[in-house]
Structure 1
Amino acid sequence: MVEREVDGHAPTAVVDASVILTMRAKLPEFTGALQRVAELVLADPANAARSTIVELAERSGTSPATVTRFCRALGFEGYADLRLGIAAETGRARAAGWSVDIGREIEPGDPLEKVLEQVMAADTRAMHDTAALLDLSEVERAAQAIAGASRVSIFGASGSALVGEEMQFSLHRIGVAAWAWTDVHNGLASAALSRPGDVALGISHSGQTRETIEMLAEAAGHGATTIALTSFPRSALAELADVVLLTATQATTFRPDALSARHPQLVVLDLLYVAVAQRTHQRSHAAFQRTAQAVDPHKAAKHSGVH
């Protein structure tokens, strides 16, 4: 198993990356009044940055003391520091050209042009946030483990299962023995056969999907190096894993966090796939050529003169 390096731990990357990302990552830890403050700020960060501590407390139905506790939970000395951090971040977003106010509702009657703009803006912002959030040293460790693995087991449920199957397909094309398990019984049986030198990858946006946690834990118990792909660094799945790869999301109406996480997850796994291919270049190149030749006869024939 790979030992996690303290200075490469994922939560540090969250704090360094972004005030909003830190807040979003910590949201599951907050309850009651602190959660209300967090949700209000996340709903409209720019407005929160313009508000006084009393105004924010009133709108969240809390007190100035609660807002101060919230700031300290995020690592700030007080509300003034939090306001400066949010203001700087929203200013960078405007400078980067985020013309759409992400987080606003998509109404049932909105024209498709507006919906397209909103979805594109949300996905683009999520990609940029993921790039800021991702700890590349963790990607390096994951790639090294997969490149040397005797087999790779990939676990996920629902939408995460589809992402896992895409990763399995990519790894197979370059000669990595990988299997994606979506049924918990089959996944647990496979995980029970894990041994040192194997790799197990668990995918869950929330990091709280019970089946995925169980399968990854079973693999870990038999010596496999474990990797978690999640949006929450303090989730049960992340705490279980040797290596944690983090993604960011931008939810919109009709596209909750779990669904909007799909594209950032695919981007991170694409990066991981390329990193594995780099480390196994000769084997990967030969395998890719052989697999391409195997399927080439099934491609539609090209006829001259057909338009």
Structure 2
Amino acid sequence: MNIRMEIKQNYESLNQSQKRVADTFLRHPDVLTMSIAEIAAQSGTSASAITRFVRKFGYEGLDAFRIALAKSSAATTPNDLLEIDPIVQKNDDLPVIIEKVAAMLSTTVSDTANFLDEQVLQEVITALKKARRIYLIGVGASSVVAYDLAHKLNRAGFLALHSWDGHMVMENLAYLNEQDVVLSFSYSGETKEVLAALAIARERGAQSYIVTKNQSDDLSKQVNGIIAIPTTEHLLRVGAIASFESSFQVATVLYLGVIEEMIGTELTERMKKTAENIKKIK
């Protein structure tokens, strides 16, 4: 993991002073040529705060930290720099907003791809292929991702269950057993409805997985596996945008991984069955 991504991943655990330093390093390309005093002034902190920050990330001094930052910046395209500061300003015109969103999503896709644990993904794909029933759980924006994946899996011939109604979700889980899989989406990993579903899965012996940025020991004990996505949302606080993209990307990878062996006549026949039913109401 390069230092730029590492700072982003640990951003929420930083105190306010450290966040100001992080913002300065991430948002100002000319920081590579600034003195420690200039960086302190730019971030509204102190020279000692800068030193503590670079040591927190495992560097003895500012020079070594700047070399690592330069290398991580060199690995990005010019447009990636926009993603560092994608917050919409009051006077941004439409072309600027379009460019910021494009840059942010492009970097989010790249960061997520580099961050994903292929071993965990393969474990989930294998579990989904064998499942009697697949329960897709999510609330708010995460529910949109869960719903879309349920739709795709059903069209491919799997029995995937999703509901927008939290009470209905709990009712569906009453029939859960060890042959089923519960796949949840929650960026925070703290959504009450999701945690309740995972608790039921654990009680019933079903396999359970969650797509989240939360990699805490407490959450790890509640599931068979965590599909961790990078922490991105702190750079854009206007809604579930980068986090939604990361979760949707994971869902797409899982779906394609599940159907990969079926591509050809088998998948075509399954798709035809659902298509024929849909035609009846068109």
Q: Which category of TM-score, normalised to the shorter sequence, fits these structures? A: 0.7 to 0.9
User: Which residue number corresponds to residue 84 of structure 1?
Assistant: 67
Query: Does residue 37 of the first structure (1) align with residue 21 of the second (2)?
Result: yes
Contact 2:186 2:212 in 1 (8 A): yes
Once the 2 structures are TM-superposed, how far is the Cα of residue 272 of structure 1 from its aligned partner? 0.7
The one-letter code of the counterpart of 1:206 is S
How far does the alpha carbon of each residue in 1:8-52 deviate from its partner, in whole angstroms, 9 at most, with x for none? xxxxxxxx3x3222222222323354444334434x152444444
How far does the alpha carbon of each residue in 1:254-295 deviate from its partner, in whole angstroms, 9 at most, with x for none? 744x23322232222111101001245575443222112222
Aligned-residue sequence identity (percent) comes to: 24
Count of aligned residue pairs for this structure pair: 279
User: Which residue number corresponds to residue 138 of structure 1?
Assistant: 120
The one-letter code of the counterpart of 1:25 is Q
TM-score by length of 2: 0.83
Q: Which moved more, 1:157-166 or 1:64-73?
A: 64-73
Query: Does residue 28 of the first structure (1) align with residue 12 of the second (2)?
Result: yes
Which secondary structure does the structure 2 equivalent of 1:101 belong to? helix
The one-letter code of the counterpart of 2:115 is L
User: Which residue number corresponds to residue 96 of structure 2?
Assistant: 114
Residues 99 and 31 of structure 1, relative CA distance in 2, 3 Å threshold: closer
Which secondary structure does the structure 2 equivalent of 1:108 belong to? coil
TM-score by length of 1: 0.77
Q: Which moved more, 1:152-161 or 1:103-112?
A: 103-112
Q: Distance between the aligned counterparts of 2:93 and 2:29, measured in 1?
A: 26
Structure 1's unaligned 5+ residue stretches are: 1-15, 300-307
Q: Distance between the aligned counterparts of 2:235 and 2:92, measured in 1?
A: 13
Candidates 249, 258, 266, aligned match of 1:276: 258
The within-5 A match list for 1:246-257 is 246-248=228-230, 249=232, 255-256=238-239
Q: Which moved more, 1:289-298 or 1:261-270?
A: 289-298
Q: Which moved more, 1:69-78 or 1:155-164?
A: 69-78
Contact 2:86 2:101 in 1 (8 A): no
User: Which residue number corresponds to residue 169 of structure 1?
Assistant: 151
Q: Which moved more, 1:264-273 or 1:232-241?
A: 232-241
Candidates 105, 108, 116, aligned match of 1:126: 108
Residues 99 and 134 of structure 1, relative CA distance in 2, 3 Å threshold: closer
